[in-house]
C-alpha cells in the first residue's frame, strides 16, 4: 500500500473509532438516563430530591462536548490542517531569517 493510501486508511480508521465511541456514549447516556429516572422515581438510593435531572444534564453536557470534538473539531483540525499550519509557521520563520540575514548584510556594508 502506498504511503498516501495508508495515511487515508489510518485516518478513516481513526474517524470510525471516534464515531463508534460517540455512538456508544449516546446509547450509554440513554440507558443510563432511563435507569436514573427509574431509580429516582422509586427512591432506590434513598434520596428524595430530583437528583436524576442534574446528573443527566451534566452527562448530556459531556456528550455534547464529545459530539463537538468528533464532528467539528477533529473533522477540520486533522493531520492535513496540522501540516498546513506547520508549513505556514516554517515559511514565516524562514522569511524572518532571510530578513535578518539581509539586515546583517546591510549593516556590515555600512
**Residue 15 CB burial class (10 angstroms; 0-12, 13-18, ≥19):** middle
pLDDT tens for 19-71 read 999 999 999 999 999 999 888 888 776 767 788 899 999 999 999 999 999 98
pLDDT tens for 70-83 read 988 887 777 777 88
- Torsion-angle region of 47 (φ positive above 0: left; ψ -120 to 50: alpha; else: beta): beta
C-alpha cell at 48: 428524595
Locate cell 468528533: which residue? 70
Domain ranges of the chain: 1-77, 78-110
* Closest to 8 measured CA to CA, from 87, 79, 94: 79
Is residue 97 helix, strand or coil?
helix
Amino acid at each position: 500500500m502506498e504511503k498516501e493510501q495508508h495515511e487515508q486508511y489510518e485516518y478513516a480508521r481513526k474517524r470510525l473509532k471516534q464515531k463508534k465511541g460517540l455512538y456508544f456514549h449516546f446509547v450509554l447516556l440513554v440507558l443510563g438516563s432511563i435507569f436514573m429516572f427509574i431509580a429516582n422515581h422509586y427512591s432506590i438510593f434513598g434520596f428524595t430530591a430530583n437528583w436524576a435531572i442534574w446528573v443527566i444534564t451534566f452527562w448530556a453536557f459531556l456528550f455534547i462536548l464529545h459530539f463537538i470534538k468528533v464532528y467539528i473539531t477533529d473533522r477540520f483540525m486533522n493531520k492535513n490542517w496540522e501540516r498546513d499550519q506547520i508549513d505556514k509557521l516554517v515559511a514565516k520563520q524562514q522569511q524572518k531569517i532571510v530578513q535578518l540575514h539581509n539586515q546583517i548584510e546591510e549593516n556590515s556594508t555600512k
